[in-house]
Structure 1
Amino acid sequence: MRLTVIGTGYLGATHAACMAELGHEVVGVDVDAGKIAALRAGRAPFHEPGLSALLARHTASGRLRFTTAYEEAGAFGQVHFVCVGTPQRRDCDGADLSCVESAFAGIARHARKGALLVGKSTVPVGTAARLAEEHGAEIAWNPEFLREGFAVEDTLRPDRLVFGVRTGRAERLLRQVYGPVLAAGTPLVVTDFATAELAKTAANSFLATKISFINAMAEVCEAAGGDVRKLSEVLGCDGRIGRAYLRAGVGFGGGCLPKDIRAFAHRSAELGVDLGFLHAVDAINMRRRDRTVALARELCGGSVLGARVAVLGAAFKPDSDDVRDSPALNVAARLGLDGADVTVYDPEALDNARKAFPLLGYALSVPEALRGAELVLLLTEWPRFREIDPRWAAGLVSRPRIVDGRGVLDPDRWTAAGWRFCALGMS
Structure 2
Amino acid sequence: MRLTVIGTGYLGATHAACMAELGHEVLGVDVDPDKVAALQAGRVPFHEPVLPELLARHTASGRLRFTTSYEEAAAFGEVHFLCVGTPQRKDSEGADLRYVDSAFASMARYAAEGALLVGKSTVPVGTAQRLADTHTGVEIAWNPEFLREGFAVEDTLRPDRLVLGIGSERAETLLRAVYAPVIGAGTPVVTADFPTAELVKTAANAFLATKISFINAMAEVCEATGGDVSVLAEAIGHDDRIGKKFLRAGVGFGGGCLPKDIRAFAHRADELGVSLAFLREVDAINMRRRDRVVELARELCGGGVLGARIAVLGAAFKPDSDDIRDSPALNVAARLRLDGADVTVYDPEAMDNARKAFPLLGYALSAEDALRGADLVLHLTEWPQFRELAPERARTLVSRPRIVDGRGTLDGATWAAAGWEFRALGRPAPGGEG
* TM-score (structure 1 length as normaliser): 1.00
State the match for 1:35 in structure 2: 35
For residues 198-221 of structure 1, give each alpha carbon's deviation from its aligned partner in whole angstroms, at most 9, with x where no partner exists.
011000000000000000000000
Matched residues in 1 for 2:30 and 2:425: separation?
42
Amino acid at match of 1:305: L
Once residues 167 and 313 of structure 1 are traced to their aligned partners in structure 2, the CA distance between those partners, rounded to angstroms, is 47
Partner of 1:49: 49
Corresponding residue of 2:321 = 320
In the alignment, what sits opposite 1:221? 222
User: Within the alignment, does 1:151 sit opposite 2:152 as a pair?
Assistant: yes
Counterpart Cα distance in 2 of 1:230 and 1:132: 50
Alignment of 1:120-269 (within 5 A): 120-136=120-136, 137-269=138-270
Quote the Cα distance in structure 2 between the aligned partners of 1:112 and 1:42: 30
- Please list, as runs of the form range in 1=range in 2, the aligned pairs for 1:9-408 lying within 5 A after superposition: 9-136=9-136, 137-408=138-409
Aligned partner letter, 1:191: A
Alpha-carbon distance in structure 1 between the residues aligned to 2:99 and 2:114 = 23
Match for 2:174: what amino acid?
Answer: L
Opposite residue 72 of structure 2, the aligned amino acid is E
Matches of 2:191 and 2:427, distance apart in 1: 45
CA distance in 2, matches of 1:70, 1:85: 17
Secondary structure class of the residue paired with 1:334: helix
**Which amino acid in the other structure matches residue 62 of structure 1?**
G
Deviations 1:338-368 (A, max 9, x none): 1110000000000000011000000011111
Once residues 274 and 344 of structure 2 are traced to their aligned partners in structure 1, the CA distance between those partners, rounded to angstroms, is 45
Length, aligned pairs only: 427
Q: Within 2, Cα distance between the matches of 1:425 and 1:302?
A: 20
Aligned counterparts of 1:239 and 1:196: Cα–Cα separation in 2: 26
Q: Provide the rounded CA distance (Å) in 2 between the counterparts of 1:112 and 1:283.
A: 47
Question: For the residues of structure 2 that align with 1:132 and 1:238, how far apart are their CA atoms?
Answer: 43
**1:203-243 deviation digits (Å, cap 9, x = unpaired):** 00000000000000000000011111111111111111010
1:98-137 residue CA offsets vs partner (Å, 9 max, x unmatched): 0000000011111123321000000000000010110112
- 1-structure distance, mates of 2:277, 2:58: 46
Distance 1:389 1:208 in 2: 32
SS at match of 2:392: helix
Shift of 1:255: 0.4
Give secondary structure in 2 for the equivalent of 1:395. helix
Structure 2: gaps spanning 5 or more residues: 429-434
**Secondary structure of 2:397's match?**
coil
In structure 1, the partner of 2:420 is 419
Q: Counterpart of 1:336 in 2: which secondary structure? A: helix
Letter in 2 for 1:9: G
Letter in 1 for 2:172: E
Cα distance between partner residues in 2 of 1:125 and 1:113: 26
Is the partner of 1:91 in helix, strand or coil? coil
Match of 2:432 in 1: none
Which amino acid in the other structure matches residue 146 of structure 2? F
Q: What letter is aligned with 2:314?
A: G
Structure 1 runs of 4+ aligned residues shifted over 4 Å read: none
Deviations 1:34-70 (A, max 9, x none): 1111001001010000000000000000000000010
Q: Distance in 1 between matches of 2:304 and 2:267?
A: 38
Q: Deviations over 1:291-333 (max 9, x none)?
A: 0000011111111110110000000000000000000000000
Where 1:81 maps in the other structure, the secondary structure is strand
Query: Where does residue 2 of structure 1 map in the other structure?
Result: 2
Q: AA paired with 1:74? A: A
DSSP-derived class of the 2:167 partner? coil
RMSD: 0.5
CA–CA distance in structure 2, aligned partners of residues 39 and 205 of structure 1: 33
Name which of structure 1's ranges 398-407 and 108-117 shifts more when overlaid on structure 2.
Answer: 108-117
Listed as ranges, the gaps of 5+ residues in structure 1 are none
- Which shifted more, 110-119 or 395-404? 110-119
The 2-side partners of 1:123 and 1:42 are apart by 30
The alignment partner of 1:88 has SS state of coil
Whole-Å Cα distance in 1 between the matches of residues 31 and 114 of structure 2?
25
